[in-house]
Amino acid sequence: MKCGGGEATPVAKMMLRLTLNGRAREDAVADNVLLIDYLREVVGLTGTKMGCDGGECGACTVLIDDEPRLSCITMAHRAAGHRIETIEGAARDGRLSRLQRAFHEYLGSQCGYCTPGMIMAAEGLLRRAPAPSTAEIRDGLSANICRCTGYTKIIEAVHAAAAAGDTP
């Protein structure tokens, strides 16, 4: 008999069908897999970061049907049938998105750990409010924590991206 006794309970799997960064996918995943684990371990997209592991820091933010969501507290099966966007899908044809460029130009990226989540949260905000006020940006990024410094450069970057409009 093994220490701890008993046999492992088999985990049920489901077929997860979704659109990830513009491409249809279909993967068999266990029912108890978190969306961040699906993205990082099944798909191999490691741009989405695990920060606090509890929905407190926003580092794991992705877009689900254009809305920012915390992938560390979202079960993968809840993404079935939806459009999921990660930081890997932000650039197009090898060119940085307007937000990625603005974060680079305005020094919005500090250590870079929170940056993917910040950019995805900001992208969701700009889709809802193309020309947000500073208060709207602060509110839109309120679920994302940057532990390196303040938010001034990040807010400047979002303003710059908004001013650039939809240019790729």
Q: 59-85, pLDDT tens digit by residue?
A: 999 999 999 999 999 999 999 999 999
Cβ proximity of 82 and 18 under 8 Å: yes
- How far is C-alpha 135 from the chain's CA centre? 22
DSSP secondary structure string for all residues of 10-54: PPPEEEEEEEETTEEEEEEEETT-BHHHIIIIII----S--SSSS
Q: Which amino acid is at 142?
A: S
Q: What pLDDT, on a 0 to 100 scale, did the predictor assign at position 167?
A: 57
In this prediction the pTM is 0.91
Q: Give the list of residues 6+ apart from residue 21 with CB closer than 8 angstroms, or none.
A: 45, 84, 85, 86, 88, 89
Q: Give the list of residues 6+ apart from residue 137 with CB closer than 8 angstroms, or none.
A: 122, 125, 155, 158, 159
Output the six-digit token pair for 163.
């001013």
pLDDT digits (tens, 9 = 90+) for 91-103: 989 999 999 999 9
Give the whole-angstrom CA distance, residue 144 versus residue 156: 16
Does residue 168 have a pLDDT over 60?
no
Closest CA to 63 of 105, 118, 14, 15: 118
Q: What pLDDT, on a 0 to 100 scale, did the predictor assign at position 1?
A: 42
Does residue 55 have a pLDDT over 80?
yes
pLDDT digits (tens, 9 = 90+) for 89-136: 999 899 999 999 999 999 998 888 899 999 999 999 999 999 999 999
Q: Give the list of residues 6+ apart from residue 27 with CB closer than 8 angstroms, or none.
A: 15, 16, 38, 42, 43
